Amino acid sequence: MLHQFRIMVVVHQKNVVFEESTLARNLEPKCKQCRREGEKLFLKGEKCFTDKCAIERRNYPPGQHGQKKGRLSDYGGQLREKQKIRKIYGVLERQFRNIYKSADQQRGVTGDNLLQLLESRLDNVAFHMGFGSSRSEARQIVRHNCILVNGRRVNIPAFLVKAGDTIEITKNAKQQLRIKTSIEAADRRNFPAWIEMNVQEMKGIFKSKPERSELPATINESLVVELYSK
């Protein structure tokens, strides 16, 4: 269920290359979203790493006919993959389309460029650094002015982080228990190779854009390229 309370606005900032919605959000239950895609999308934070995860108990789509197996057409498979990637990174349809356009205009493989742009978003980087237990929580922390990028406060989730940028929690926000807990949990699971993290100082460095081999193999971005190439 998508609730949109205000029209889309374009963020005029150098590091933001696509539209950002101020109040639009997807209110569909997160566990149902995972079940619809048939895999963990890690939308519920720590719950996704326990046996309470909905996928562990009911790994079939929600609804009356969820357990009936059906065969998707080629178009249906492409559409489902696009929806899955959108849900993983928490972006809306128009945002995703604009991100794809930016990826297509860059040199290199469009699919790889697409994932690198999504991974470079500030809310996603904050999530990987453990500042939020999920991407939605990390996005909220960014919105609440709790993040500094190279010493400057940034509250735009769609802000694109560059290689070498330093991201840290503001002094006042370091006292928040939820942030401390999230960082400790992320530290136990280990941080991605493209991130250098100082847990004690709640500060990290975005060393480089991740290579495709470092990202989940369950994502098939080539299907999205095929979908938008029609």
Asked if residues 60 and 35 have their Cβ atoms less than 8 Å apart, the reply is yes
Asked if residues 191 and 129 have their Cβ atoms less than 8 Å apart, the reply is yes
Taking residue 178's Cβ as centre, other Cβ atoms within 10 Å add up to: 15
- For the chain, give the mean pLDDT: 81
The Cα–Cα gap between 85 and 221 comes to 8
| Mean pLDDT value across residues 27-41 | 59
Confidence of residue 187 (pLDDT cuts 50, 70, 90): very high
**pLDDT one-digit tens code per residue, 191-201:** 999 999 999 99
The Cα–Cα gap between 90 and 87 comes to 5
Global confidence as pTM: 0.77
Confidence of residue 9 (pLDDT cuts 50, 70, 90): very low
Does the pLDDT of residue 15 top 70, yes or no?
no
In degrees, to the nearest 5, what angle opens at C-alpha 94 toward C-alphas 205 and 89? 35
Does the pLDDT of residue 119 top 90, yes or no?
yes
Residue among 113, 164, 171 at smallest CA distance from 147: 171
